[in-house]
């Protein structure tokens, strides 16, 4: 059972004890908290712990924690002895609705995030939304960004439900929250099943992420959660869709209002704009000044545009960073 050190008492040890009670020989493997643990060095430590615990090709790694633990544990499970079984037990909203489903695993390099990884599908994803009761509001909001993304690209009805019910209402209604999380897993799973290795429709899931990743790269020491960056990214990409004549202004407007109601993409963002522009220009997907970008023409729909001028995306990024109002 791999978990983050602060989660040992509340979730890691109870998970280990439950497995032991069910007859498994289970060992707890705590790792230091935070994105800085998504490294090859930390993976190396875990391989050592796996050997010390005498794990073999019939063993299973359980990832109990947020997306960092899921990505790191998934990477180790996908490579230790050429791959052993993995069970994801996500405990943040972001990992419950996004990171735990789909089989992408990774560690970071000093040069950038998620640069080394494998596709390794979990045998099972076990989600207990009661764990969200201890999650700080800021992480809940960041997780909501990926929910808004799923609604924007694939489910207009869910988008309307999010507009109608504020975050506190979802948190206070356990069954509605479970259905919301399950619906998000279903959307992600459907897209991934159609395109497991990101050759086509899986690109939809990158909505808001081209600009979002550029903002993360430019945030430097200013701490910016992934979901927070994606929220700004969606604002920018919605503005772009309007300026390209692909979407009505109302689409960008409704999305900006929903994000603001969730405490996301509000107010000027402190990023180094030059670095953000540079990060966009260095995006892997750029060819001859244009790039491939998933855009939302109407809420609940997504199209991949092949020829988006990077210069226009830069303008949209500046607008989204500047004020967040549309
Ligand atoms: N593989 C994928 O498809 C995919 C998709 C999206 C994001 N990611 C990755 O996920 C990571 C971000 O994940 P995250 O947002 O879950 O961050 P995280 O894993 O760092 O968790 C955020 C914080 O919440 C704490 N925490 C976790 N569960 C808790 C709980 N129930 N109560 C209280 N505290 C809790 C963690 O210890 C941590 O301090 C990034 O590395 C990102 O690259 C992967
Ligand atoms: Zn994301």
Return d(Cα 287, Cα 310) in angstroms, integer.
10
In the residue annotation, 209 being an active-site residue is answered as: yes
Distance 94 CA to ligand 2 centre (A): 8
Lookup: tokens for 317 = 């990024």
Q: What is the pLDDT of residues 43-57, one digit of tens each?
A: 999 999 999 999 999
The pLDDT of 111-136, averaged and rounded, is: 94
High-pLDDT (> 70) share of the chain, %? 98
Asked whether residue 325 carries a pLDDT value surpassing 60, the answer given is no
Ligand 1 binding pocket includes 38 (Cβ within 6 Å): yes
Residue nearest to atom 35 of ligand 1 (CA): 135
How many other C-beta atoms can be found within 10 angstroms of the C-beta atom of residue 309?
13
Name which residue sits closest to atom 4 of ligand 1, judged by CA.
99
Q: What distance in Å separates the CA atoms of residue 115 and residue 326, rounded to the nearest whole number?
A: 34
Q: What is the model's pLDDT at position 162?
A: 98
Instruction: Measure the CA–CA gap between 202 and 184, rounded to whole angstroms.
Output: 14
Token reading at 114: 């998620």
Q: Kindly give the number of the ligand 1 atom that is closest to the alpha carbon of 106.
A: 1
What is the per-residue DSSP string for 11-34? IIHHHHHHHHHTT-----EEE-SS
- Rounded mean pLDDT, 92-112: 94
Q: Between 310-322 and 226-243, two packed helices, what is the crossing angle to 10 degrees? A: 120
pLDDT confidence bin for 324, thresholds 50/70/90: very low
Mean pLDDT of 176-203: 92
Q: Is 220 left (phi over 0), alpha (psi -120 to 50) or beta?
A: left
User: Residue 323's pLDDT is what?
Assistant: 45
Whether ligand 1 lies within 6 angstroms of the CB of 228 is answered as: no
- pLDDT for 113: 81
Ligand 1 and 91: CB distance under 6 A: yes
pLDDT one-digit tens code per residue, 216-270: 888 876 788 999 999 999 999 999 999 999 999 999 999 999 999 999 998 788 7
Question: Which listed residue (146, 216, 228, 237) is catalytic?
Answer: 146
Q: Are 105 and 88 in contact (CB under 8 A)?
A: no
User: CA dist 75 to 88, 102, 106, Å?
Assistant: 12, 13, 6
CA-proximal residue: ligand 1, atom 36 (nearest): 66
Q: Is any atom of ligand 1 closer than 6 Å to the C-beta of 117? A: no
Tell me what the mean pLDDT of segment 29-36 comes to.
Answer: 96
Q: How far is the CA of 281 from the centre of ligand 1 (A)?
A: 28
Q: How far is CA 37 from CA 9, 43, 219, 276, in A?
A: 19, 8, 19, 25
CA angle 163/167/173 to nearest 5° reads: 105
Say if CB 105 and CB 115 are below 8 A apart: no
**Residue 135 pLDDT grade (very low, low, confident, very high; cuts 50, 70, 90):** very high
If you average pLDDT over residues 36-47, what whole number do you get?
97
Residue 82 is among the residues annotated as catalytic for this protein: yes
Q: Ligand 1: does its nearest atom lie under 6 Å from the Cβ of 198?
A: no
197 is catalytic: no
Structure confidence at residue 99 as a pLDDT band (50, 70, 90): very high
Distance 95 CA to ligand 1 centre (A): 6
Backbone dihedral angles phi then psi of residue 296, each to the nearest 5 degrees: -105, 105
Q: Which of these ranges, 43-52, 87-96, 131-140, 191-200, has the smallest mean pLDDT? A: 191-200
Helix residue ranges, H only, the chain: 13-21, 40-52, 67-79, 93-94, 137-154, 156-164, 167-171, 174-194, 209-218, 226-243, 249-261, 273-281, 310-322
Whole-prediction pTM: 0.94
């Amino acid at each position: 059972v791999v978990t983050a050190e602060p989660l040992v008492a509340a979730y890691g040890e109870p998970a280990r004890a439950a497995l032991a009670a069910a007859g498994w020989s289970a060992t707890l493997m705590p790792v230091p908290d935070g994105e800085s643990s998504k490294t090859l060095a930390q993976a190396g430590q875990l391989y050592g712990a796996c050997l010390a615990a005498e794990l073999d090709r019939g063993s299973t790694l359980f990832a109990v924690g947020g997306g960092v633990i899921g990505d790191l544990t998934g990477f180790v499970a996908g490579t230790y002895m050429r791959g052993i079984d993995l069970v994801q037990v996500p405990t943040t909203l972001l990992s419950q609705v996004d990171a735990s489903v789909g089989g992408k695993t990774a560690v970071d390099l000093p040069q950038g995030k998620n640069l080394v990884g494998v596709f390794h599908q979990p045998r099972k994803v076990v989600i207990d939304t009661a764990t969200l009761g201890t999650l700080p509001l800021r992480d809940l909001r960041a997780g909501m960004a990926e929910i808004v993304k799923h609604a924007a690209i694939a489910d207009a009805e869910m988008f309307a439900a999010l507009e109608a019910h504020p975050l506190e209402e979802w948190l206070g209604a356990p069954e509605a929250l479970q259905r919301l999380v399950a619906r998000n897993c279903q959307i992600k799973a459907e897209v991934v099943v159609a395109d497991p290795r990101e050759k086509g429709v899986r690109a939809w899931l990158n909505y808001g992420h081209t600009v979002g990743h550029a903002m993360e790269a430019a945030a430097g020491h200013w701490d910016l959660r992934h979901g927070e960056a994606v929220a700004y990214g969606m604002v920018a990409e919605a503005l772009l869709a309007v300026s390209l004549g692909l979407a009505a202004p109302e689409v960008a407007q409704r999305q900006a209002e929903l994000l603001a109601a969730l405490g996301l993409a509000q107010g000027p963002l402190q990023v180094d704009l030059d670095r953000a522009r540079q990060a966009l220009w260095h995006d892997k997907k750029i060819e001859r000044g244009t790039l491939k970008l998933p855009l939302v023409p109407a809420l609940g729909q997504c199209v991949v545009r092949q020829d988006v001028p990077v210069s226009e995306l830069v303008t949209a990024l500046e607008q989204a960073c500047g004020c967040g109002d549309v």
